[in-house]
Amino acid sequence: MSVLFETSLGDLVIDLQVDACPKTCENFLKLCKMYYYNLNAFFNVSKDFLAQAGDPTATGTGGESIWALLGSETRYFEPEIRPKLKHASKGTVSMAVAPALEGHSKGGCGSQFFVTLADNIDYLDGKHAVFGHVVEGFDTLDKLNDVFTDKEGRPFKDVRIRHVVVLDDPFPDPPGLVQPPASPTRPPDNSTRIAEDEDPLATLPEEEEERLRREKAAAASALTLEMVGDLPFANVRPPENVLFVCKLNAVTRDEDLELIFSRFGVIMSCHVIRDKRTGDSLQYAFIEFDRREDAEQAYFKMQNVLVDDRRIWVDFSQSVAKSNNVWSNNITRGPARHKQGGRILKSAIVMVWFSTCLDDATMTARAENGAVVATGRVRASRAIAAPGPGPHEGGESRR
């Protein structure tokens, strides 16, 4: 009969002596089934001696048997100490025996257990109840043996039992035992130690830390935009074959741009974005090439080129609206409505884009009377340009 312990240092597989110690094994298996040991800490680790766990309070004074959990008045049960079962080999698993109480000749066992970290620890023979042996995971025991501890034996960095899997249980469940629907998500003790997933000795170059910080900030911003519906999904990426062209002359048409840029390759679509009500050009456009290489060539060749007496600005599009099936002049975009001072005001989102050297920009929503009704700050690693109605008449982009 076996149990798998998944710890923060690795896995341990324990074979149980169910024939020699049936009551001890039944108690251990039923506690495992109740997720009693999940997220418990190894609170006492002595190098080349033992590692102790099974106390939810991680103090060495807590824990109780499965029968006490089910309503028994007795916290402990009598230990099954067998003379033939000794602490002779590394990986021996024993129930910790509490000192005998007044009026009792023997101590008792609850939930606390320990695993030996060396061979021939005969000092423990006859004092604690051996009931199993580790058969897989001796490398995990070596890691456990090498942890740094304080003067009381508690590891400075938490070592926890993340999950327990009962591989075989020959005992019927005692009356009243109901397995919880899920494993606990928070440790039962209030630990102030270094978390198991934290590495206090890890140091990164300042540039790497800044890069990771920006990645986390970008991921958080993307998730927020997904939640409010501005992105189809958080990990969306802009297309690499679409160019964003701004500072256009108001008279420049779709076919004009398509003719000029078609020298670099096959153009799938070319749209000058226009106001839905007036039809006037908003003086920026999106050009989709068949191949990314063609878009890259056009980006380098057409920067600051004179088109219809205007110096245009070309950048790679960072709009993901097309991925969300909304980037098209044929799609109706009604202006957003906001309440302000008891009146409903129409507003349009101000378009924002910036070059690759910048890290953030401000988005602003204004009502028809010019009043600011909403603002927001976005961060990105490249230019952002969301097509739609916005105050870009006059041909000047916000950079």
Each residue's pLDDT tens digit, 198-250: 666 566 778 888 888 888 888 777 777 666 666 666 566 778 889 999 999 99
In the prediction, which pLDDT does 393 show?
A: 40
3-class SS string, 32-46:
HHCCCCCCCECCEEE
Of 182, 67, 46, the C-alpha closest to 118 is 46
In the prediction, which pLDDT does 224 show?
A: 74
Distance of alpha carbon 53 from alpha carbon 111, whole angstroms: 9
In the prediction, which pLDDT does 248 show?
A: 92
Digit-coded pLDDT (tens) for 86-132: 999 999 999 999 876 555 566 789 999 999 999 999 989 988 999 99
Residue 308 is which amino acid? D
CA distances from 360 to 143, 174, 221, 357, 373 (A): 45, 62, 11, 10, 20
In the prediction, which pLDDT does 1 show?
A: 74
In the prediction, which pLDDT does 236 show?
A: 66
CA distances from 266 to 74, 255, 258, 292, 299 (A): 83, 14, 10, 11, 15
Of 398, 328, 327, the C-alpha closest to 364 is 398
The confidence band for 194, taking pLDDT boundaries of 50, 70 and 90, is confident
Q: How big is the chain, counted in residues?
A: 399
Digit-coded pLDDT (tens) for 379-388: 443 333 334 4
Of 22, 149, 139, the C-alpha closest to 90 is 139
The mean pLDDT of the chain is 79
Q: Which of 143-147, 360-364, 389-393 has the highest mean pLDDT?
A: 143-147
In the prediction, which pLDDT does 371 show?
A: 54
In the prediction, which pLDDT does 215 show?
A: 85
Give DSSP secondary structure letters for 211-234.
Answer: HHHHHHHHHHHHHHHHHTTSSSST
* Domains with residue ranges and CATH for the chain: 2-166 (2.40.100.10), 242-379 (3.30.70.330)
Contact 134, 12 (CB under 8 A): yes
Contacts of 213 (CB under 8 A, 6+ apart): none
Phi, psi of 208 (to 5 degrees): -70, -40
In the prediction, which pLDDT does 347 show?
A: 39
Give the N- to C-terminal CA distance of the chain in Å, as an integer: 69
- For 27, counting Cβ atoms within 10 Å of its Cβ (0-12 exposed, 13-18 middle, 19+ buried), the class is buried
The residue among 204 and 66 whose pLDDT is bigger is 66
The residue among 274 and 193 whose pLDDT is bigger is 274
Digit-coded pLDDT (tens) for 24-50: 999 999 999 999 999 999 999 999 999
Digit-coded pLDDT (tens) for 317-371: 877 655 544 444 443 333 444 444 444 444 333 333 433 334 444 455 555 555 5
In the prediction, which pLDDT does 199 show?
A: 66
Give percent above pLDDT 70 in the chain: 72
Phi, psi of 319 (to 5 degrees): -75, 135
Looking at the DSSP bridge assignments, the partners of residue 349 are 365
pTM over 0.85: no
Of 282, 246, 281, 243, the C-alpha closest to 262 is 243
In the prediction, which pLDDT does 234 show?
A: 59
